[in-house]
Chain A
Amino acid sequence: MRLTGAQALIKSLEMEGVEVMFGLPGGCILPAYDPLLDSSIRHILVRHEQGAGHMAEGYAHVTGRPGVAMVTSGPAATNMVTPLCDAYMDSIPMVCLTGQVPTSAIGTDAFQECDTVGITRSVTKHNELVMTAQDIPRAIREAFHIATTGRPGPVLVDLPKDVLQNTMEWYWPEAIDLPGYKPTLKGHPRMIREAARLILASERPVLYIGGGILKARAAAALRELAELLDIHVVTTLMARGAFPDSHPLCLGMPGMHGNATAVTALQRADLLIALGARFDDRVTGKVAAFAPEAKIIHVDIDPAEQGKVRRPDVPIVGDCRLVIEELIREVRNLLSAGEARADTSAWKQRVSGWKENFPYTYEPSEPGDALKPQYCLESLRDSAPEGTILVSGVGQHQMWSSQYWRFEQPYTWVNSGGLGTMGFSVPAAIGAKVGRPDATVWAIDGDGCFQMTAQELVTASTERIPIKVGILNNSYLGMVRQWQEMFYEERYSEVYLSTDLPDYVKWAEAMGCIGIRVESPEEVQPAIDKANEIDDRPVVVEFRVDAREKVFPMVPAGMANDDILLPSSQNKDLLR
């Protein structure tokens, strides 16, 4: 069967089970948009290519399936760099298709030419410039395979216009021939036994859980392990939802803005069982002072993570789910063979004491005072339908979201962790809603973030994707303001945006959304109720909140976790 390269591309995407893609056409990718008209694949037309990338990420976050974005060459490809880097940092499976100038024009500085594979090399797991139409099915098959296996990540396929126009003989590669790519899935049995022994001998163990648990679909296995051994679980920003917040063993988020219990549990532990976590600087604080007494079991599918930051005592390369299952089996074997379990009761009591004394806290506003952002989040949380997916941008609102929400199920939290991409939430929420149309999707955004990508609400309105956006408008780049207040002697430099410019309600309405403004505590609940009832179009609720509010606790950048700053109402002496 003779097909054009473009037809082969669309057919290959269908073969990979793609149901939806996000994109925006242009010169060089035009040939691919023609066969798309006859395809079952739903295409969502974005307003800016960066939006297509973040939508693909949001979709991948909540479904576990690779997000697909398709854009043209040159400026479209460079607009895709941010989402690619974001997906690379957070290990999000994503396939990005870019148009390229015809092969004969490559290297001539042709109109809308750029070195896409060169530019994206360091922000993709892999990329390829396809030089003949005959290679398209192989390249697409490999792209999906690489994006979704091992440590997931973004893969880019660059498609010159003539390659899309030329004809080829259709085939679908049965096998994948990548001699240099064989991810290790099964952990080494000796290491797993070693890990099981360390766990049983530990008096102060903590499970340190990263986003890898979610990528490995290992939440159920994790719960079994935690309950079997009765070990506390710390869920990093990327792992929120991997273990239910309501579970008595859950300590929540560690790190720079984590709660004091989670931070201190890591610091005082004698054993960290790190599962799919990468010892990020936002978790460790000053590395030399991180968890000084702890031995480390490090399970990760990426061998390069072992020893990158902290040398593990027991490194285990493998898929988290498979390794946890083996670990459970090994622990059971050892216990039934009479191996003793160290006494963890004193530790558990200590941790419970911290939990009691160090909840997240803020001072509620006095009547007539400005609205507190934390109060808005608590109200949103308490009114959210079960299974609501929360998506956030980057900054103070992101930290409050992680702190004050209660995550009970995996894949209900979407955020930009590694790269910290402002403007992530609106497009990512659209992608999430497309992937999970049955779920309520709330995007919590800051006013700074919202202004970066808000135009995608036009996409949401036209495509009937009814997301809900809550803007915590504090008129500032809030996190920057917090740092300037705390570390630059309140010298506020280029950080004030505006309270009423833009007019968020009018802007929302202009984009086909319902816009609601909330200025006082008594308006909060009615606005949220109204937003939750609307299901035929996007809603934007602007909460005008107190600009002076800061995120606490906080471990200042570069400091040791033991130097954690607590809210003034809490007594650090009790953290022993």
Chain B
Amino acid sequence: MSLPDHHILSALVENRAGVLARVASLFARRGFNIFSLAVAPTEDPRFSRITIVVDVESAPLEQIVKQLFKLIDVVKITELDPRTSVERELLLATVSADPAHRGQVVELVQIFEGKILSVGVDLITVSLEGHPDKLDDFEELLRGYGIVELQRTGRVALPKLDREARVRALKGKAS
């Protein structure tokens, strides 16, 4: 699951019908692979942000960015270097946890600072938010108990702020 050489693209798009389909179909048509994708409105209701993780060499990445930018609905694209960005993801998992093992699962959740969302007779649903690598570790450890269902959101990311940039971002329109 860990992606040492992945690229994170953050696209600010107009909040119009079909924009996700446009982005997805562009990837399909040009033969680019999407590893994960997350879409949600931004603070400005006119725009949504699409965070796309792609798994490519750097040369075609330039093509991906340029082709994406040709879409009329795409306003801005930023490539986020994993070293200089904050990345987060959310994981939900339902795990086998009979009374004999429930304590161990709960302990694991506490160590990772996750949450327990629902408890059944022999199942437990937990959540964890954090860096995708941390989620990978958590998932790996849960696997030993038996994962019944698992859903991850795909990563979202924003650039890390240095002090100067933080002042700018607070003043200006975040786009």
Which residues from chain A sit less than 8 Å from chain B, CB to CB?
117-118, 121-122, 125-126, 129, 131, 146, 178-181, 302-304, 306-308
- A-B pair number, CB within 8 angstroms: 40
- Nearest opposing residue in chain B for A317, CB measure: B66
Cβ–Cβ contact A180 & B14, under 8 A: yes
Asked if B74 lies at the interface with its beta carbon under 8 angstroms from chain A, I say yes
Partner of A180, one of B25, B26, B75: B75
> A126-B72, A180-B75 in contact; A303/B18 too (CB < 8 A)?
no
Known: A126-B72, A180-B75. 4 other contacts (CB 8 A): A121-B18, A303-B66, A304-B66, A307-B62
Q: Mark B146-168, 1 if CB is under 8 A from A, else 0.
A: 00000000000000000000000
Cβ–Cβ contact B67 & A121, under 8 A: no
Q: How far is the CA of A85 from the CA of B18 in the complex (A)?
A: 20
Q: How far is the CA of A126 from the CA of B14 in the complex (A)?
A: 14
Contacts of B18 in A (CB 8 A): 117-118, 121, 129
Partner of A146, one of B13, B22, B69, B72: B72
Cβ–Cβ contact B25 & A122, under 8 A: yes
- Enumerate B77-132 residues with CB–CB distance to A below 8 Å: none
Cβ–Cβ contact B70 & A121, under 8 A: no
Cβ–Cβ contact A122 & B72, under 8 A: no
Cβ–Cβ contact B71 & A180, under 8 A: yes
Asked if B1 lies at the interface with its beta carbon under 8 angstroms from chain A, I say no
Which residues from chain B sit less than 8 Å from chain A, CB to CB?
13-14, 17-18, 21-22, 25-26, 29, 62-63, 66-67, 69-76
> A179-B14, A303-B66, A304-B63 in contact; A121/B22 too (CB < 8 A)?
yes
Contacts of A126 in B (CB 8 A): 72
Q: Which of B26, B73, B74 has the most CB of A within 10 A?
A: B73
Cβ–Cβ contact A178 & B63, under 8 A: no
Contacts of B74 in A (CB 8 A): 180
6 residue pairs of the A-B complex, CB under 8 angstroms, read: A129-B18, A179-B75, A302-B70, A303-B66, A303-B69, A304-B66
Cβ–Cβ contact A118 & B70, under 8 A: no
Contacts of A118 in B (CB 8 A): 18, 21
Q: How far is the CA of A122 from the CA of B18 in the complex (A)?
A: 13
Partner of A129, one of B17, B22, B70: B17
Partner of B67, one of A117, A146, A179, A304: A304
> A179-B14, A304-B67 in contact; A121/B25 too (CB < 8 A)?
yes
Cβ–Cβ contact B29 & A122, under 8 A: yes
Contacts of A308 in B (CB 8 A): 63
Cβ–Cβ contact A121 & B21, under 8 A: yes
Cβ–Cβ contact A180 & B73, under 8 A: yes
Q: How far is the CA of A308 from the CA of B76 in the complex (A)?
A: 20
Cβ–Cβ contact B72 & A181, under 8 A: yes
Q: How far is the CA of A146 from the CA of B73 in the complex (A)?
A: 12
- Least distance between A397 CB and chain B CB atoms (Å): 31
